[in-house]
Amino acid sequence: MKKQIGSLGSILIGIAMATVGLTGQAQAISFTATNGTNLSASADFQLSGTTLTVVLTNTSAADVLVPADVLTAVFFSSNGTLTSGTAILTAGSAVVFDAAPVGGVVGGEWAYLSGLAGAPLGATQGIGSAGFALFDGATFPGADLDPPAAVNGMNYGILSAGDNLATGNAPVTGDNPFIKNSVTFTLNVDPNNVFSLSSINNVSFQYGTALDEPNIRSVPEPASMLLLGAGLAGIGIWRRKAAR
């Protein structure tokens, strides 16, 4: 009998550990997009407590030749209330055509805003380095690295992973500073308002400095959707067992 109880206990512990693992995995979701030729990008959202981390990456292997090839914003919608946290270079990324910022902080060149009207796909939130007549000014902590006051123009937009810095027109080969090729943002989640990763939708990636320039719509990566679904299933199993 003791052996049977011990075995049952091991099984229950295993189920509990699996459920914890699944719910932990459910705290991240990735969106990717491509125009099928020279533009591609990703946005990875990870929730930990009341901090939402967003890693925005220009994943294209193509050369950046004109300003319309520069990734300058990600737009999305979600539930809950979010506010600006931090903006720093993702590990392995760097500023080009300007001095390296202290601590990798580029917040003075980027903005987060909610309550948007007129954004692509009807998105209500966005993170951008260009104004688009949507962002009033930089909202992340950090110095204005390239006056005039941010956010304005394409400066500190994100170049592709495959960009050749020596090729392209003047605006993308030295006239403006850029980031190659990823920025990590944090947003603060109001604990008094419900926020869930599964509510994120209307995700799109904006290029250039105007909304009539390229914008590519994103979809969740299949793997992240499977993890999210598995995590929700794990929560359901745990709740049913707890109710018995």
Q: What is the pLDDT of residues 178-202, one digit of tens each?
A: 999 999 999 999 999 999 999 999 9
* Residue 180 counted as domain residue: yes
The number of distinct structural domains making up the chain is 1
* Residue 242 counted as domain residue: no
The pTM assigned to this predicted structure is 0.82
* Residue 205 counted as domain residue: yes
* Residue 188 counted as domain residue: yes
Q: Which domain holds residue 82?
A: 29-219
Residues, the chain, total?
A: 244
Q: Which is higher by pLDDT, 150 or 82?
A: 82
* Residue 10 counted as domain residue: no
Q: For 20-39, how does the pLDDT look when each residue is reduced to its tens digit (9 = 90+)?
A: 333 444 499 999 999 999 99
